[in-house]
A and B are shown apart, each in its own frame.
Chain A
Amino acid sequence: QVQLVQSGAEVKKPGASVKVSCKASGYTFTSYDINWVRQATGQGLEWMGWMNPNSGNTGYAQKFQGRVTMTRNTSISTAYMELSSLRSEDTAVYYCARALTTSCPDYWGQGTLVTVSS
């Protein structure tokens, strides 16, 4: 069965960076794009970007351009999302998801809570 398992919760200070991992199993990792979506507590969903694990090509939402980097290690079927220059507004649960089409997530990870606090 398709599974996406994310790394554990993180606490970061303002200005720092965070890197979240997402390990895929149950399907061919390089055959589907990976999307990243975040959700602040009690708020809605916010799409951050996509990555093609085969080519490494990426596309980022304008809001995150210059601060987000999505990468992968195909040998271990793992995707990564790094967000830099963190601020309190970045406190959220970050989800990775396999994309049915380029930007339509079907299977989701369990989420990683990133807390930004001084």
Chain B
Amino acid sequence: EIVMTQSPATLSVSPGERATLSCRASQSVSSNLAWYQQKPGQAPRLLIYGASTRATGIPARFSGSGSGTEFTLTISSLQSEDFAVYYCQQYNNWPTFGQGTKVEIK
């Protein structure tokens, strides 16, 4: 099983600031990496797939990068609606998710 490790567990950011979230795979997943946003009581929402392609309707302030084992999700200027938990998921092999990064208001 490919283990996905996200860091940090919690990120405290002020509105308008940049947020950088990391995700590491225990072995190469090529570019088969997705990012999801989840708010309390809601289903996850796909943000990024293929490591860097924004899903339909996702604002340009969300960007993804990386390949192989190291990936990054960047939110260029945090809006109030962006405070949530973010998960990475590899789908190169049997899919696995990271444990999540909570982005909270500083």
Check: A55 CB closer than 8 A to any chain B CB. no
Instruction: Return the CB mask of A45-76 against B: 1 if under 8 Å, else 0.
Output: 11100000000000101100000000000000
Q: From residue 60 to 118 of chain A, which have CB atoms closer than 8 A to chain B?
A: 61-62, 95, 97, 100-111
Check: A26 CB closer than 8 A to any chain B CB. no
A-side interface residues, number (CB < 8 Å)? 23
Instruction: Provide the residues of chain A in CB contact with B16, threshold 8 Å.
Output: none
B-side interface residues, number (CB < 8 Å)? 22
Instruction: Provide the residues of chain B in CB contact with A102, threshold 8 Å.
Output: 91
Cα–Cα distance between A106 and B49 once the two chains are bound (Å) = 9
If A45-B44, A100-B46, A100-B49 touch, does A106 touch B97 (CB 8 Å cutoff)? no
Q: From residue 41 to 81 of chain B, which have CB atoms closer than 8 A to chain A?
A: 43-46, 49, 55-56
Instruction: Provide the residues of chain B in CB contact with A61, threshold 8 Å.
Output: 94
Write 26 A-B pairs (CB below 8 A) sorted by A numbering. Answer: A44-B87, A44-B98, A44-B99, A44-B100, A45-B38, A45-B44, A45-B87, A45-B97, A45-B100, A47-B89, A61-B94, A62-B1, A62-B94, A95-B44, A100-B55, A101-B91, A103-B91, A103-B94, A104-B49, A104-B91, A105-B46, A106-B49, A107-B46, A108-B43, A109-B43, A110-B43
Check: B95 CB closer than 8 A to any chain A CB. yes
Check: B30 CB closer than 8 A to any chain A CB. no
Residue of B nearest to A63 (CB): B1
If A104-B34, A104-B89, A106-B55 touch, does A47 touch B95 (CB 8 Å cutoff)? yes
If A45-B89, A102-B91 touch, does A108 touch B44 (CB 8 Å cutoff)? yes
Q: How far is the CB of A114 from chain B (nearest CB, A)?
A: 15
Check: B96 CB closer than 8 A to any chain A CB. yes
Instruction: Provide the residues of chain B in CB contact with A35, threshold 8 Å.
Output: 95
